[in-house]
């Protein structure tokens, strides 16, 4: 069709007119179905969008402190087999205005991935209305009780459940694990904000909301207008305002433009997005005061009503933080800033025996972190498959990267399409994501002080009047009239004007006349739509930049900061919590305990200690090392449980960090009862495992040579004496291999082991240097991150009494 063809132009105009009318009717009919679906969903006693069959195990309303939460067992779909020997998997859903079920409302989800992997799965959901007097602490205690119940249901496995907390459920899970660290296995927090003051300028506009509204008094007002209940639709409205182009145009136009194919997907998502729930006024006030505005969780300032401090440093389970740069609700600084708030550096994390792993997605939005099918098939599949490996990783800070398995060596050891690799990180690298600005902290601290003042004035002057005038019926009426809720009801079968819509829509579907994309008017429609999106995005950017500028200028005023008592005090805001006296004593006792164990153990301890030492010089590691090591250990010790394996890894890691010189020098002692053939087998085992992730770096290869020399010192004396004779001749092959082992004779205690190379990974030998003795610092206060590269100075075998005692081989 061309403009010079009037008949073609007219046909194009008529075809587009007819198609637009048909699409409009079909669109309105989908919106009618959405309204009906909303009303039906909200009338259910226990509405949920969970896409799996479940059975109720525990009702939170029956607990000593009743809550509107419940524990469900997820029944496997047909054809899926569950292995009860595997670690249980628990998903905790976010309660942030929407209904439950988002963590498993389709097959490609967190629950779907875990079920296909054969794990017993459980889901912690909630009901639409809270119990009277319910608090956040009650919810946290209920989640602890639920996880304990899951553990009791699986006596056949010694592994603690892996717990997944999405969005707001993430900080609840972390609070629970800080109070009861022995209950939780590996923890995955997806899109969970724990450090609310953090954020990059020009992004994360939600963090300014508390300052612009004058603090949390507006939350108290909203709860009082609801007769003590806070309507979750207000939270949903805040989310929608972040992206007006998507909320008011793009999402709806995408349905209109593809109404023939998009109706099912649209209705499926709207079933959850429109399932608004209600929170207790005391609950939401606690959340806003202590987290959104006060930021007290990430600085260990929260104390329970029975006097227990909620310190995230108490968490002993590995923590996986999954966030995205495309998330404007929980950007990476808010997901990772708590690490910077609590710890001085990566050595401080090691001293607290914590393993923290973070994974950054580049593009997905907030909901995509835990509902996107592509994310579930990739990231969540890898997290689930590697949970045992994550559970045995030594303490420290790591970042994960995901690559295609087919591009890797030893790809047969990777059972899936992708490989999850773990790389050690330091705080300088972490700061690139957190982008901490101390001057902004003072501004947010000023907001927190003003929020307390404004809330006090509200409670003194306004709250009594509002509470006296609001009745339960008026509160229900205001909830029904909320703009978001009203939008669903107006386009439903309860509106008499919608009666002809289904009849018209059915007639159109039977005789549909869609137009092609090359239609002139259809192309103009697409251009107009893009222009509307661009204009709304420009409005959003202008609005967000204006809000940020007003916030920074207002709360950065020295006069205002001085008026609330903050100006001039560099430490009053975001004070990093110090170590408690009992924690310092714990560190000291732990050090003393480990020193006594340095020369205790058997060949298991020797092999693991050597493995950690060599891998300490590697830039990254992945599941291939773990699979080979665990498989070979299962062959040597069939009764070895994963919890024993994890204990062995962590204990040997700390022994190396505490006294590296003595830890390496005692390797021959741990191997003294092994035969020459067994020592050779241990060395082959080490090389086999280390080769799983590719060729060793020169630095790691030098460390392996050093370990081989120490293992040679443990060979029986008969072998050494036999090896010395040809060594004197200087030419035989056996003499070449005994040049190192003969150095451990009774006449000398000096080692001939080749020292590890210097920091530039030079392969040339260097002159051995003395290793600094332990100075009594906390575990992990060492310049090297995992296994230092300083050469080893060996000592005689009978240096200590513990070395002289005969120790039986222990099963791990």
* pLDDT tens figures, 668-695: 888 888 888 888 888 888 887 777 666 7
pLDDT of residue 386: 80
pLDDT of residue 392: 80
pLDDT of residue 785: 39
Q: Quick one: 572 and 585 in the same domain?
A: no
Mean pLDDT of all residues in 145-173 = 92
Mean pLDDT of all residues in 485-498 = 91
Q: What is the pLDDT of residues 661-670, one digit of tens each?
A: 888 888 888 8
CA proximity to 594, closest of 646, 669, 663 = 663
pLDDT of residue 4: 55
Q: Which of 454-468, 498-512, 627-641, 724-738 has the lowest mean pLDDT?
A: 724-738
Classify residue 690: in a domain, yes or no. Answer: yes
More confident residue, 106 or 170: 170
Q: Is 127's pLDDT higher than 80?
A: yes
Mean pLDDT of all residues in 696-707 = 83
Q: Is 41's pLDDT higher than 50?
A: yes
pLDDT classification of 422: cutoffs 50, 70, 90: confident
CA distance 311 to 301: 8
Q: Which residues pair with 419 in a beta bridge?
A: 403
Give the count of domains, the chain: 3
Residue pair 247/240 in contact by the 8 Å Cβ criterion:
yes
pLDDT of residue 678: 87
Q: Quick one: 409 and 491 in the same domain?
A: no
pLDDT of residue 642: 65
Domain end residue (candidates: 386, 406, 434):
434
Classify residue 811: in a domain, yes or no. Answer: no
Q: What CATH number corresponds to the domain at position 107?
A: 3.40.50.1820
pLDDT of residue 788: 40
Domain end residue (candidates: 415, 434, 453):
434
- Percent of the chain residues topping a pLDDT of 90: 43
Q: Quick one: 650 and 693 in the same domain?
A: yes
Q: What is the pLDDT of residues 347-386, one digit of tens each?
A: 888 888 889 999 998 888 887 787 776 776 677 788 887 8
pLDDT of residue 36: 94
Q: Is 181's pLDDT higher than 50?
A: yes
Q: Is 530's pLDDT higher than 90?
A: yes
Q: Is 739's pLDDT higher than 50?
A: no
pLDDT classification of 647: cutoffs 50, 70, 90: confident
CB atoms near residue 545 (< 10 Å): 13
Classify residue 764: in a domain, yes or no. Answer: yes
Q: Quick one: 606 and 552 in the same domain?
A: no
Q: Which of 395-404, 628-637, 775-784 has the lowest mean pLDDT?
A: 775-784
More confident residue, 438 or 75: 75
Outline where 556-580 has alpha helix (H): 558-563
- Domain extent, residue 38, equals 1-43+207-294+437-508+515-578
CA proximity to 489, closest of 474, 479, 475 = 479
pLDDT of residue 617: 53
Q: Which residues pair with 189 in a beta bridge?
A: 165, 321
CA distance 187 to 143: 13
Residue pair 276/233 in contact by the 8 Å Cβ criterion:
yes
Residue pair 275/126 in contact by the 8 Å Cβ criterion:
no
Q: Is 509's pLDDT higher than 80?
A: yes
pLDDT of residue 549: 95
Q: Quick one: 75 and 9 in the same domain?
A: no
Classify residue 809: in a domain, yes or no. Answer: no
Average pLDDT of the chain, as a whole number:
81
Q: Is 592's pLDDT higher than 90?
A: no
CA distance 271 to 253: 18
More confident residue, 563 or 727: 563
Q: Quick one: 149 and 251 in the same domain?
A: no
pLDDT of residue 98: 82
Q: Which of 6-10, 166-170, 788-792 has the lowest mean pLDDT?
A: 788-792
Q: Is 463's pLDDT higher than 80?
A: yes
Classify residue 306: in a domain, yes or no. Answer: no
Q: What is the pLDDT of residues 210-233, one digit of tens each?
A: 999 999 999 999 999 999 999 999
Classify residue 299: in a domain, yes or no. Answer: no
Residue 420: alpha-carbon gap to chain centroid? 14
Q: Is 5's pLDDT higher than 70?
A: no
Q: Which of 184-198, 392-406, 615-629, 757-771 has the lowest mean pLDDT?
A: 757-771
Q: Which of 517-526, 709-718, 768-777 has the lowest mean pLDDT?
A: 768-777
Residue pair 508/22 in contact by the 8 Å Cβ criterion:
yes
Q: Quick one: 684 and 566 in the same domain?
A: no
Q: Quick one: 636 and 666 in the same domain?
A: yes
Strands (E), 284-363: 319-324, 355-361
Q: Quick one: 694 and 568 in the same domain?
A: no
Q: Quick one: 739 and 601 in the same domain?
A: yes
Q: Is 278 helix (H, G, I), strand (E, B) or coil?
A: strand
Q: Quick one: 592 and 637 in the same domain?
A: yes
Mean pLDDT of all residues in 6-25 = 89
pLDDT classification of 99: cutoffs 50, 70, 90: confident
DSSP 509-552: HHT-----TT-HHHHHHHHHHHHHHHHHHHHHHHHHHHHHHHHH
More confident residue, 524 or 407: 524
pLDDT of residue 761: 36
Highest-scoring range by mean pLDDT, 365-374, 559-568, 693-702: 559-568
Highest-scoring range by mean pLDDT, 65-74, 191-200, 428-437, 438-447: 65-74
Mean pLDDT of all residues in 604-623 = 74
Q: Is 759's pLDDT higher than 50?
A: no
DSSP 613-676: HHHTTSS-EEHHHHHHHHHHHHHH-TT--HHHHHHHHHHHHHHHHH-HHHHHHTHHHHTTT--H
Q: Is 721's pLDDT higher than 60?
A: no
Q: Which of 581-590, 625-634, 640-649, 705-714 has the lowest mean pLDDT?
A: 625-634
Q: Is 784's pLDDT higher than 80?
A: no
589 CB contacts (<8 Å, ≥6 apart)? Answer: none
Mean pLDDT of all residues in 109-126 = 89
Q: Is 322's pLDDT higher than 70?
A: yes
pLDDT of residue 496: 92
Q: Quick one: 739 and 593 in the same domain?
A: yes
pLDDT classification of 418: cutoffs 50, 70, 90: confident
Q: Is 305's pLDDT higher than 50?
A: yes
Classify residue 305: in a domain, yes or no. Answer: no
Q: Is 437's pLDDT higher than 90?
A: no
User: How many distinct helices (H) and strands (E) make up the chain?
Assistant: 36, 13
Mean pLDDT of all residues in 797-802 = 38
Q: Is 409's pLDDT higher than 60?
A: no
Q: Is 54's pLDDT higher than 70?
A: yes
pLDDT of residue 13: 92
Tokens of 464: 């009594």
pLDDT of residue 230: 96
Q: Is 122 helix (H, G, I), strand (E, B) or coil?
A: strand
CA distance 470 to 458: 16
Mean pLDDT of all residues in 309-330 = 91
Classify residue 193: in a domain, yes or no. Answer: yes
Domain end residue (candidates: 434, 467, 482):
434
Q: At what angle do helices 603-615 and 623-636 cross, to 10 degrees?
A: 170
- Percent of the chain residues topping a pLDDT of 70: 80
pLDDT of residue 749: 35
Q: Is 795's pLDDT higher than 60?
A: no
Strands (E), 121-277: 121-126, 162-166, 187-190, 229-231
Highest-scoring range by mean pLDDT, 158-162, 200-204, 247-251, 271-275: 247-251
Q: At what angle do helices 603-615 and 676-690 cross, to 10 degrees?
A: 30
CA proximity to 567, closest of 655, 449, 666, 684 = 449
The two most distant CA atoms of the chain are separated, in Å, by: 108
CB atoms near residue 75 (< 10 Å): 14
């Amino acid at each position: 069709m061309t403009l010079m063809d009037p008949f073609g132009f007219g046909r194009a105009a008529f075809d587009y007119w007819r198609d637009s009318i048909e699409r409009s009717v079909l669109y309105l009919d989908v919106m009618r179905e959405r309204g009906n679906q909303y009303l039906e969903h909200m009338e259910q006693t226990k509405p949920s969008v969970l896409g799996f069959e479940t059975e109720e195990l525990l009702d939170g309303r029956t607990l000593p402190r009743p809550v509107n939460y419940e524990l469900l067992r997820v029944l496997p779909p047909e054809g899926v087999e569950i292995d009860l020997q595997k670690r249980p998997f628990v998903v905790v859903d976010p309660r942030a205005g929407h209904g439950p079920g988002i963590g498993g409302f389709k097959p490609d989800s967190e629950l779907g991935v875990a079920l296909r992997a054969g794990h017993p799965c459980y889901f912690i959901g909630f009901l639409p209305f809270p119990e009277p007097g319910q608090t956040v602490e009650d919810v946290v205690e209920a989640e602890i009780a639920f996880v304990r119940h899951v553990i009791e249901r699986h006596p056949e496995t010694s592994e603690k459940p892996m717990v997944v907390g999405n969005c707001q459920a993430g900080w609840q899970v972390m609070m629970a694990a800080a109070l009861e660290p022995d209950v939780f296995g590996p923890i995955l927090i997806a899109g969970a904000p724990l450090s609310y003051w953090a954020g990059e300028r020009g992004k994360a506009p939600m963090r300014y909301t508390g300052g612009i509204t004058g603090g949390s008094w507006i939350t108290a007002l909203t709860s009082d207008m609801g007769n003590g209940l806070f309507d979750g639709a207000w939270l949903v409205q805040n989310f929608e305002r972040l992206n007006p182009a998507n909320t008011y145009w793009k999402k709806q136009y995408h349905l209109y433009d593809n109404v023939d194919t998009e109706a099912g997907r649209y209705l499926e998502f709207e079933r959850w997005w429109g399932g608004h729930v209600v929170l207790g006024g005391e609950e939401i006030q606690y959340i806003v005061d202590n987290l959104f505005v006060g930021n007290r969780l990430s600085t260990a300032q929260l104390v329970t009503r029975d006097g227990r401090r909620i310190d995230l440093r108490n968490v002993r389970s590995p923590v996986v933080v999954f966030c995205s740069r495309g998330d404007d609700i929980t950007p990476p600084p808010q997901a990772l800033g708590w690490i910077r708030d609590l710890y001085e550096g990566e050595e401080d994390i090691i001293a607290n025996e914590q393993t923290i792993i973070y994974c950054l997605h580049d593009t997905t939005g907030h909901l995509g972190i835990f509902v996107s099918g592509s994310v579930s098939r990739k990231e969540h599949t890898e997290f689930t498959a590697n949970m045992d490996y994550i559970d045995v990783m030594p303490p420290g800070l790591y970042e994960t990267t995901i690559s295609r398995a087919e591009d890797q060596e030893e790809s047969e050891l990777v059972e899936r399409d992708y490989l999850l690799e773990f790389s050690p990180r330091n705080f300088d690298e972490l700061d690139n994501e957190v982008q901490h600005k101390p001057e902004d902290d003072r501004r947010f601290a000023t907001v927190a002080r003003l929020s307390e003042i404004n809330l006090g004035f509200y409670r003194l002057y306004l709250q009594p009047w509002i509470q006296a005038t609001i009745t339960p019926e008026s509160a229900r009426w205001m909830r029904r009239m909320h703009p978001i809720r009203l939008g669903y009801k107006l386009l439903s079968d309860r509106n008499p004007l919608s009666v002809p819509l289904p009849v018209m829509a059915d007639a159109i579907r039977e005789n549909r006349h869609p137009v092609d994309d090359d239609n002139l008017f259809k192309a103009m429609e697409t251009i107009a739509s893009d222009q509307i999106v661009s204009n709304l995005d420009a409005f959003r950017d202008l609005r967000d930049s204006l809000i940020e500028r007003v916030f920074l200028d207002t709360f950065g005023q020295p006069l205002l900061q001085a008026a609330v008592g903050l100006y001039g005090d560099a430490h009053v805001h975001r004070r990093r919590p110090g170590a408690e006296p009992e924690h310092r004593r714990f560190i000291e006792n732990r050090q003393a305990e480990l020193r006594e164990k340095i020369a205790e153990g058997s060949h298991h301890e020797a092999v693991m200690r050597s493995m950690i030492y060599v891998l300490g010089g590697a830039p990254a590691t992945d599941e291939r090392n773990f699979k080979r090591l665990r498989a070979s250990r299962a062959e040597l010790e069939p009764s070895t449980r994963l919890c024993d394996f994890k204990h062995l890894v962590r204990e040997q890691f700390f022994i190396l960090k505490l006294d590296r010189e003595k830890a390496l020098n005692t390797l021959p002692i741990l191997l003294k009862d092994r035969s020459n053939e067994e020592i050779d087998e241990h060395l082959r085992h080490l090389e086999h495992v280390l080769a799983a992730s590719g060729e060793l770096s020169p630095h790691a290869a030098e460390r392996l040579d050093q370990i081989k020399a120490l293992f040679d010192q443990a060979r029986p004396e008969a072998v050494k004496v036999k090896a010395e004779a040809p060594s004197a001749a200087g030419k035989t092959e056996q003499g070449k291999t005994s040049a190192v082992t003969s150095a451990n004779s009774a006449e000398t205690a000096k080692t001939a082991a080749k020292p590890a190379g210097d920091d530039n990974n030079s392969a040339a030998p260097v002159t051995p240097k003395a290793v600094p003795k332990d100075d009594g610092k906390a575990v992990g206060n060492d310049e090297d991150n995992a296994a230092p590269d300083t050469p080893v100075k060996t000592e005689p075998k009978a240096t200590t009494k513990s070395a002289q005692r005969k120790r039986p081989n222990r099963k791990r």
